[in-house]
Amino acid sequence: MRRPQRPLPPADDSASPAAAGDDGAHPLPGNLPAELNHFVGRENELADVARMLEESRLVTVIGVGGVGKTRLATRAAALLEKRYCDGVWLVELSAVHDAGLLEHAVADALGLTDHTPRPPRAALIEHCADRDLLLVLDGFEHLVDDCAALVRDLLRRAPGLRVLAAGRLPLELAGEAVYPLATMTDEDALRLFAERAAGVRPDFRLTEHSRGPAQDLCRRLDGIPLALELAAGRLRALSTEQVLQRLDDRFRLLTGGSRSALDRHQTLRTAIGWSHELCAPPQRLLWARLSVFAGQFDLEAVEYICSGPDLPADSVLDVLSGLLAQSVVLREDSPAGTRYRMLDTVREYGAEWLAATGDTDRLRRRHRDWFLGLATWCELDWFSPRQAEVAARVESELPNLRRAMECSLESPQEAHLAQYLAGTLWFLWVGCGRLSEGRHWLDHVLEEETPYDASRLKALWVLGYVAVLQGDPVGAISALTECREEAEEAGDATAAAYAVHRTGCLALVTDDLERARDLLDDALGRYRELGELNSNVLMAQVELAMSTGFLGDLERAAVICEEVRDICEDHGEQWALSYALYVLAYATLQRGRPERARELLEKSLSISHAFNDLLGTVLSLELLALVTVTEGDAAEAALLQGAADRIWPSVGLPLFGSAHYGVPRARCEELALRELGGGRYASALRAGGELGPDAVVGRALLGRAGGRERARAGTDEPAGSAPPAPGGTRRPAASPASGRGGPERR
């Protein structure tokens, strides 16, 4: 049954994507971006969309490019935020070209991390099934059939879900309400032009003298918001009358003087084309070349990919600044730093010009080569204090990395480059919570028949690694056996070492501890011979410590992890450190020192959660629950256990619920049941199951002090804590303590 909705808030400017909740204390869940400038007009349209969402679970806003579909949809969603208990979530699909990545894009927008080998659609359906949320799908038209199928399945299985879509054509599903978005009214168009003009020229005012030309200009542009904003950008150099004169000449030239012959799409193309003509030749050239990017891009990439004899690298910044001044390119700040992007309609126009020059293929290869190099650098830099920065960088570049793999797969002769890229990005798939997408790409690139060179062998062991973490032992052993056999035949000692290592990891999680210990010892010996030292090698040591500790030698396990901790501190490594701390906490608790175990676990949990590492998070939570019941707070321990139970299905490793990894949970359950009894224990478990990862981690990190504060306050709510991040949203990877990055999930 759909949960009761809160009253619809008034459609005023106080409602924004970043607005606080009802009490003003906690942010609402969701990921709507903050508005960069004031939303102008469209009051009737906003009311219409809100009314249609009351009556239909699927509303699609359609219209020509540049008419303002995205802005209207996100504005309407922001005004309706308070009605959806589980948030409003924007999914931007324009940069997703592979239909196989559609579900991954939706899951990513929802902040859903699922490590299981089940189809991503199944994970999405399960996630949405009992939630009350609004999903905003933008820019889906190139994936319309696949998107329609996904939306149909989600709506059928998730009664609390509503979908607001924005695109150039409807999804054509039963029950869909279609809202054709018209251009702006004359009054709204004039308001928009005046406001944007004032942003360019602070002294701009609508006066008796300027109002007439401005109205004529808005009518010439048919009230299309993008066209109006492009025209307003021209006021840096021209008066309104001059803009109107040049635009009027352009219209007559293209239409033979027949104003009525202009449909709205042609009007927009005319406005963009007019802006294109007014650009200097280097600006036109850069505009065309920028069209090879997907999503955001940065200055370094532009200088490498787009420069040449006709556009020297040292001139690119000035030329790019010119495009920024004319609103052809937009600037955005992100966790990865200053980024740029182009609106889809503007990008498409540039792509047509690039194709006309015959330079598309060369620019796409140049783009691919840059991102191959970027991935290589990021892999090396992952083993450094810059892990969080690397994670932020590859997250922001994911659309471009996807496009680079797609480019390589278009030619059989270059498929090995796609294999290289998919293998090199192991730290993205494993360390940044993207196992499912990594599995998609690794399976895909390995379908191509290529020689067993280093690229293919690396993709194989990474595939085996991902399969281990997904709880797929059959897929893991198949890939790892093939990798090891071919590596030994080819004399590739590095690939063979990684295959042995990951086979040992598989043995560890399947409780074959003696074999795990032997394989991991073997792998570490091979790594020493090769002089290999990186994050993977440290994880092999941690895994050896786990197998050793589970076999009863806690002293040796602790010694191994102390060595790992020293190396991590020397190199600024974080994700391997989080697992070393977990093992040290396990050994410390066995020695009867719960307070010290808590200190170690709190640091481990903080790192794991900040890096979106579900496996590390859930293991630390369960061990913390055991520490908590040992300290005498059985109710809080049961609550932490209930929260861990909620996370485990997304980890997807039933193998980790084994006789060894399951010991802390079983012991905690025994002690808590003895203290609380069945009824209170079950109630605390249910309460924990209601908490999302952000909330439970914030609570757990309060430790014993938080328990004392809650006891004094007579409440189970965490006291003195900062509010959790909204609804499981992915945190910016600014630092291991505050952002996404990624300890590798063993």
> Who has greater pLDDT, 316 or 30?
316
The reply to whether 634 and 671 lie within a common domain is yes
Query: 715, 36, 100: which is closest to 438 by C-alpha?
Result: 100
CA 481 to chain centre: 32
For residue 690, tell me if it sits in a domain. yes
Same structural domain, 170 and 215: no
pLDDT band per the 50, 70, 90 thresholds, residue 264: low
Please state, in angstroms and rounded to a whole number, the distance separating the CA atoms of residues 402 and 114: 20
- Cα 97 versus chain centre, distance: 16
One domain, residues 78 and 171:
yes
CA distances from 82 to 107, 286, 327, 339 (A): 22, 43, 33, 31
The answer on 169 and 103 residing in a single domain is yes
Question: Does position 653 have pLDDT exceeding 80, yes or no?
Answer: no
Report the range of poorest mean pLDDT among 40-54, 209-223, 536-550, 560-574. 209-223
- Say if residue 257's pLDDT is above 50: no
Q: Which of 303, 330, 358 is the last residue of a domain?
A: 358
Tokens matching residue 133 = 């949320």
Report the CATH number at residue 333.
1.10.10.10
Average pLDDT of the residues of the chain: 84
Same domain, 266 and 376: no
Average pLDDT over residues 473-497: 95
Domain finish residue from 358, 375, 397: 358
Q: Note the helical H segments in 326-359.
A: 344-357
- State which residues form the domain around 696: 613-728
Say whether pLDDT at 693 is over 70. Answer: yes
| Helix segments in 256-333, DSSP class H | 264-278, 281-290, 299-306, 316-325
- Tally of domains within the chain: 5
Burial class (CB in 10 A: 0-12, 13-18, 19+), 545: buried
| The two structure tokens encoding residue 698 | 């914030």
Q: Is 200 in the same domain as 260?
A: yes
pLDDT > 60? residue 318: yes
Q: Are residues 585 and 625 in the same domain?
A: no
- Has residue 152 been placed in a domain? yes
602 domain residue, yes or no: no
For 464-487, b/e burial (b = at least 16 CB within 10 A) is: bbbbbbbbbeebbbebbebbbebb
The pLDDT score that the predictor gives to residue 745 is 32
**Per-residue confidence (pLDDT) for residue 313, from 0 to 100:** 93
Q: Is the CB of residue 519 less than 8 Å from the CB of residue 504?
A: yes
Whichever domain contains 432, its CATH number is: 1.25.40.10
Residue 259 sits in the same domain as residue 158:
no
Residues 472 and 587 in one domain: yes
pLDDT band at 311 (very low <50, low <70, confident <90, very high): very high
Looking at the structure, tell me whether residues 237 and 207 fall in a common domain: yes
